[in-house]
Structure formats: structure tokens, C-alpha cells
Amino acid sequence: MLPIFFTTFCIIYAVGYCGVFRNWSKYRSDASSCFISLFHGTPAVVLALTAIITQPSRGFDSPNTDFQNLVLEFSIGYFLVDLLHYLIFIPQEILFIAHHLATLFVFVTCRYYALHGAFALLVLLVLAEITSACQNIWTLAGLRREELPSAARIYKFLSPPFYVLYTAMRGVVGPLFFYKMSAYYLSGKACDAIPWWVSVSWIVVVGAAILVSIMWISNLWIVLFKEIRQCEEKKER
């Protein structure tokens, strides 16, 4: 199914780039990236939750089910297309390219090499993508907020709830689950199912991703509070 998913996301990107956002000039490629993310994020959450719930035995080293492998392929297809987007249009975005390569490494090794551990990765996928729809709309509005008052209003309206949800998922629930996952893998209990180097590499990649996410959202909170303070100061004058 991976070739089908990859082709589908390529087509969706092309529709966004050549059709939906053809008049967005310098934001055209960024908007198209958000467009395919909209078709990945929420569906991935639904698919991942379904795969987790229907798994007969849930554990950090449980064997992957066929449906879990399908969900992994779905996300691999998306990340491959979005990686191409960055490599072609904005190769200077080293952080995002590194993130996508690392994510692909984790998903690919789980799907095609270890064949175990999808439960843990799909839980993390849910926590990461549950904010996707809100984040993409927020991002699209942010791209045009300097030009369109309506976009500025949407951006301003979505910022606080998006920040709260993102902080809860990436800054609280995510790290807690990551701690449990890391403790299990580092204990050596999964070595019979998942090679040690694979589980450790997953810990490194996921840990780094969580750290970067926390730094990113922290910076956004700082900017938001500064803007609120500036507005209050203007009112006092």
C-alpha cells in the first residue's frame, strides 16, 4: 500500500500547488505542505486509534498487526512527500528535513525491520497529530495574516487554544508516555522482540523530537505574552 499512499499524497500536493493555492505566490509551497498535512493528520489519528484499540495484545514490544503496518505505511507515504517538498522548495530548512528523516527512520524500521513496537509509535503518532488540523489552519492563517484581516483574526483566535492543546499533548502527555516507553526499552525487556540498537534509536529520535517541540511551543507562548503585554500597555496610554 505504500506506493499507493505515496502517489495519493503526491496528487493531493499537486492539487494544492496547482489549484487551491495557485495564487498564493511565495506561500504556495508552504500552503500545499499544510494541505497534504490536513489529509494526513486527522485520518492518521483515527486510523492509529483504531489500530491500537483492535490490537489483541498491547505492549511496547507487541508484534505489529497488519492494520498497524498499514497505518505506518500511510504515514510513511505522507512524510516522504513532505520531505520531497522541503528538499525541493526549502532545502535550507535543515531542522524540518532532519525531523522528517528521523521520523521516517523510526516508522520504516518498525514496519519493515523490527516488525514489533507499533503500539508505542502509534500512540506517539496520535499525540503528535491530534493537533494537526488546528495547527494547519493556524499556519495557513498565519501565512496570510499580514495581507488579510480575516486571516489575522483567525490566527489570533486559534493561537491560545492551539497552544494549550499542543502544550498538553507535546509537553505533558507525550513526555509521560515517552518516559514509560524509554523505561521499558532500556530495561532490556524488549530485546527478544526488538533489537537493542533499534529501540535505543527510537528513544533518541522521539526524545529529541519532544524536546524540539517543547522549545518551539515555549517560544510561541513567549511571543503571545509579549503581544498581550504590549496591547495592555497601549490601552493604558
Chain segment 142-159, per-residue pLDDT in tens: 999 988 899 999 999 999
Strand partners, 116: 63
Nearest to 117 by CA among 74, 61, 51, 76: 61
Helices (H), 54-93: 66-89
Q: How far apart are CA 33 and CA 122, in angstroms?
A: 22
CB 135 within 8 A of CB 185: no
Query: pLDDT by residue (tens digit) across 54-89?
Result: 888 888 999 999 999 999 999 999 999 999 999 999
Strand partners, 63: 116
SS3 content of the chain, % helix, strand, coil (to 5): 80, 0, 15
Q: How far apart are CA 59 and CA 117, in angstroms?
A: 7
Whole-prediction pTM: 0.91
DSSP category for residue 65 = P
CB 119 within 8 A of CB 59: yes
Query: pLDDT by residue (tens digit) across 118-177?
Result: 999 999 999 999 999 999 999 999 999 988 899 999 999 999 999 999 999 999 999 999
Q: Enumerate residues 6+ apart whose C-beta is below 8 A from 122.
A: 48, 51, 52, 68, 71, 72
